[in-house]
Amino acid sequence: MPETVARTAAKILLDTKSVLFNAREPFKYSSGNTGPVYVDCRRPISFPQEREILMACAEKVLRDEVGLANIDIVAGAETAGIPYGALIASRLEKPMVYVRKKAKGHGRMGQIEGYFEEGSAPRTLLVEDLQNFGANKKVFIDALRGAGAIVGHFFVLFDYGIRPEVAQDNAAMGLSQHYLCNWRDVLAAAREGNYFDAATLQSVEAYLNNSESWAAALAR
């Protein structure tokens, strides 16, 4: 990952309040766990200038790490991957489809919306907004591969970067992952820009190093 891309993306996510740190009043996640970090990668689509910079960064990463000759079509994953898939497809001048979490149950019963020619085996870039555990993407990959697409590359704006098992899952699925920044990049940018006090930054680093130990210390 180019350092300038990671730094730029991390700063934009901080400036748009798409990532937040709060050690004093930790966030409660859908899993029921708590932590001092929160990310909302849907939020940047509402900031035109910042969104344009993020998409320029995405284009650079994809040109450098994948190569446009290796992308025939861009697939946005329901729901937050759809706007980014559209923006990236436009910048790369590639066709786009989007993939539902399940077939819609009426009309043509489609799970993939858009078009690619049957039997064409397009090399497909799957796009989502972020990756944490990464479990959801298998649904989209299975749908695309079931329709004949070749899915070897996966792009997100933000990767948590703290779960080694995710890299193992990607390898098992035959995926190369690409992203703009992760929590370590955001923490570095927050320190550099003095976005938060030292105690908050220390707590966030402790959480990123070992979330279970951080939670146990909080409970005491």
Q: Does 77 reside within a domain? A: yes
Q: Which residue has the tokens 């799957």?
A: 126
What pLDDT does 2 receive? 62
What pLDDT does 104 receive? 67
Number of domains in the chain: 1
Task: Answer whether 0.75 is exceeded by the pTM.
Answer: yes
- Least Cα distance to 179 among 201, 206, 161, 195 occurs for 161
Q: Does 82 reside within a domain? A: yes
- Which residues form the domain of 146? 3-212
How would you write the pLDDT of the chain (220 residues) with one tens digit per residue?
A: 567 999 999 999 999 999 999 988 888 876 677 889 999 999 999 999 999 999 999 999 999 999 999 999 999 999 999 999 999 999 999 999 999 998 765 444 479 999 988 789 999 999 999 988 777 889 999 999 999 999 999 999 999 888 778 888 888 999 999 999 999 999 999 999 999 999 999 999 999 998 888 878 877 6
In whole angstroms, what is the distance from residue 124 CA to residue 70 CA? 8
Q: Does 22 reside within a domain? A: yes
150 neighbors 124 (Cβ within 8 angstroms): yes
Q: Does 139 reside within a domain? A: yes
Q: Partners of 21 in the beta sheet? A: 37
Domain CATH for 118: 3.40.50.2020
Q: Does 217 reside within a domain? A: no
Q: Does 219 reside within a domain? A: no
Q: Does 220 reside within a domain? A: no
What pLDDT does 160 receive? 87
What pLDDT does 109 receive? 45
Side-by-side strand order, sheet with 176-182:
112-113, 96-99, 73-77, 123-131, 150-159, 176-182
What pLDDT does 105 receive? 55
First-last CA distance in the chain:
38
Q: Does 144 reside within a domain? A: yes
What pLDDT does 147 receive? 92
What pLDDT does 80 receive? 94
